[in-house]
Amino acid sequence: MLKNLTIKAKLLIYFGLLIVLAAIVGTANTYSNHQIAAKFDSISEDSVPWIQYLEKSNLAINRIARGILDISLQKLGVETTDQGTLEGKKAILLAIITDFDKAHHDYDSLGPHNSSDTSFRNQIESGTHEIKTASLEIIGLIGSNGGDQIILAKTEELSNALDDFGELIARAFENEYEEIELNHVAADALAKSFIWINAAIIFSAITLAISVGLAMRRSIVGPLKIFADTGREVARGNLEIAVKIDSKDEVGELADSFNQMTINLATLYDGLEAKVVERTRELSQLSKRNGILLQSISDAIVAIDRAWNIIEWNRAAETLTGYNRDETMGKQFRDYVHFVRERNRSENISFIEEAMLYGKVKFMDNHTFLICKDKTEIPIGNSASPIFDEEKKVIGVMVIFRDLTQEYKSQALKTDFKYASHQMRTPVTKIAWDLESALDLADGEEKKGLIQDAYESTRSIAKMVDELLELSEIDQEVVIPHYDMVNISEMIAGVFSEVDHAVKRRKLGLVYSNTSVINIETDKELLKKILVKLMDNAINYNKENGKIYLEVQEMKGALVIEIRDTGIGILEQQQPIVFTKFFRGSNFNTSNLSGAGLGLFISRAYAEVLNGKIWFKSEPDIGTSFFISIPKTRG
């Protein structure tokens, strides 16, 4: 029957049964206590009035006996301890007799006390009447001056009656206490019987509660244990097992859901297993591809864990260090890779430690060398990249380094070239000055022409040397701007002064326009070099008697300078390569031009150093406009 009930219904039944059992036990206990209390109350109700009567009667007959004796002796002339008058004592004795009689009437009103009470009542009635009658007669005799013999005889009769009544009272006391004892024994027996009855009821209730509880346990805990055992089997991978519970309650519904879940899990596991196989195959292929890719990288790659043990060593690392992969894997990094600083020969591994500590890519100091297996030293450049796990914790570092031997050689060539250029500039400049002085002293047109040609050639060589030196500085990234407040009009006046000779020689016109800009914060020398090179370009590619327009304006917080010529323009197909090194326009005879075609390349590089930019617009046979934009303030 329990199988068809819900767990909630089972629990309600169980708790309802417990409440009913508790009510039954409580009721039985209350009833038994009430019965026992009633029994003891009945003993008190029956015995107390009766004992009170006996006590009053016993006291009364004693007082009557003393009173009769006292007045009789006083009547007979015998001295007594009580000094009262005879009449006073007679009055007191009459009051005692009255109390005794009243006690007797109270006893009559109590009704029958027990089965033998009728016989006892008759004796009490007789004794009480005899004592009362005798007492009154004696009092009457004493009051009427009766004879002493008669008084003594009546006193003797009263004494006998009192003795008999006293014995009757004593027997009554004895019988009453025996009756009380018997009633107490009966009450104790009743209490014991109720104790056993209550114990039987409690035992029955506990037995019933335990039986129902066990049945409930079997219907609830039992299936849950089956669930636990089945769940452990499923956890071990047995997906074919099912929960076998035949009940219609929530546990039965849960069993059905669990079995369906196991079926779905088995289906999912089969599909997942196939996917795992496929994914494993893909990961294996990816690992092989990554391994091939890692081994194919030209830079040396060495990966280490947090204990600095080598966990990866590619082919380039083998080539560069001289150690093969088999002898390094799992070994300490510093036993096989030795980085030292060129200046003091100290070990250089701080960039690896910082990458490990801070979880960021770090680069090693410049001028670091790798000491190879054969003790040769190779200049290298490298970096350290942290390796993270799924929780973004650093678990190692990947050290990447490459051979910089060719770069060192190239740098040495640049240094030598720069030195040679500096060495060349001094004599060339001196020759130009000498030719310029000679030109002023020449007295013939032919001589002046020859000296002029020599002077122009020397200036061309000097310009080319200057541009090569500037190019070297740009390539080495050593051009550093020095910012200051620059008066634009004064600076442009200096530019015009520098190109004035060439402008006059080409018979060109200059048009300058500046509507608002006065001062900007920039590097005066770099900006002047840019403008001179753009002006040289406008002069060289202009037409005879052409014009050059220089316009200054402010646009969105920047200084914008336009240098426009009326020259031959730039062919459309050559416009994308205008700012490349050594560019020369093919629509113009450049054999007579000075320089090496580096002016525009250098101008754009200088503009970028100043956080600016250069662009142009050009139409063949109409002219070209170059624009330079420089921030008005240091950004």
| pLDDT tens, position by position, 218-241 | 666 677 777 677 777 777 777 677
**pLDDT on residue 16:** 72
- Quick check: is 234 in a domain? no
- What is the model's pLDDT at position 8? 65
If asked whether residues 274 and 302 sit together in one domain, one would say: no
Q: What is the pLDDT of residues 302-324, one digit of tens each?
A: 999 999 999 999 998 998 899 99
DSSP state of 539: H
Residue, of 288 and 516, whose pLDDT is higher: 516
Question: What CA–CA distance (Å, rounded) separates 564 from 561?
Answer: 10
In degrees and rounded to multiples of 5, residue 389 shows phi and psi of -95, -170
Q: Please tell me whether residues 490 and 596 are part of one structural domain.
A: yes
| Measured CA distances, 467 to 463, 477, 564 (Å) | 6, 15, 23
Residue 227 domain flag: no
pLDDT tens digits for 285-300? Answer: 554 555 555 555 778 8
Task: Give me the number of domains the chain comprises.
Answer: 5
Domain identity same for 550 and 631: yes
Would residue 245 count as lying in a domain?
Answer: yes
Band (pLDDT 50/70/90 cuts) for residue 606 is: very high
Task: Tell me what pLDDT residue 473 has.
Answer: 79
408 and 460 share one domain: yes
- One domain for residues 375 and 301: yes
Q: Does residue 155 register a pLDDT over 80?
A: no
Indicate whether 624 pLDDT > 90: yes
The domain that holds 601 is classified in CATH as: 3.30.565.10
Please write down the HEC assignment for all residues of 309-374: EEEEECHHHHHHHCCCHHHHCCCEHHHCCCEEECCCCCECCHHHHHHHHHCCCEECCCCEEEECCC
Instruction: State the pairing for strand pair 368-371/613-619.
Output: unpaired
Q: Are 112 and 34 members of one domain?
A: yes
Return the pLDDT at 86.
66
Pairwise CA distance, residues 602 & 578, whole Å: 12
Asked if residues 348 and 365 have their Cβ atoms less than 8 Å apart, the reply is yes
* CATH code, domain with 144: 1.20.120.1730
pLDDT of residue 309: 95
Query: pTM of the prediction?
Result: 0.40
Percentage of the chain exceeding pLDDT 90: 23
- Note whether residue 541 is domain-resident: yes
pLDDT at 609: 92
- Find the range with the poorest average confidence among 30-39, 361-370, 409-418, 477-486: 409-418
Q: Who wins on pLDDT, 372 or 127?
A: 372
Lowest mean pLDDT among 261-265, 339-343, 485-489, 503-507: 261-265
Which one of 432, 451, 478 terminates a domain?
A: 478
* Residue 286 placed within a domain: yes
Based on the domain organization, do 409 and 395 belong to the same domain? no
Q: Tens digits of per-residue pLDDT, 52-90?
A: 666 677 677 777 776 776 676 666 666 666 666 767 766
Q: Which pLDDT score, from 0 to 100, does residue 220 have?
A: 67
195 and 277, same structural domain? Answer: no
Residue 221 forms part of a structural domain:
no
For residues 427 and 193, the model is more confident at 193
Residue appearing with tokens 């708790």: 15
Q: Are 384 and 307 members of one domain?
A: yes
User: Does residue 35 share a domain with residue 162?
Assistant: yes
| CA-based nearest residue to 97, from 138, 157, 151 | 138
Residues 107 and 8 in one domain: yes
Residue 425: which domain range?
A: 404-478
594 found inside a domain? yes
User: What average pLDDT does range 562-590 have in this prediction?
Assistant: 82
Average pLDDT, the chain: 76
Which of these ranges, 35-49, 143-157, 360-374, 604-618, has the smallest mean pLDDT?
35-49
Instruction: Tell whether 156 is covered by a domain.
Output: yes
Last residue of a domain, one of 375, 402, 429: 402
Q: In terms of domains, do 485 and 588 share one?
A: yes
Confidence of residue 115 (pLDDT cuts 50, 70, 90): very low
How many Å apart are CA 485 and CA 89, to the nearest integer?
A: 150
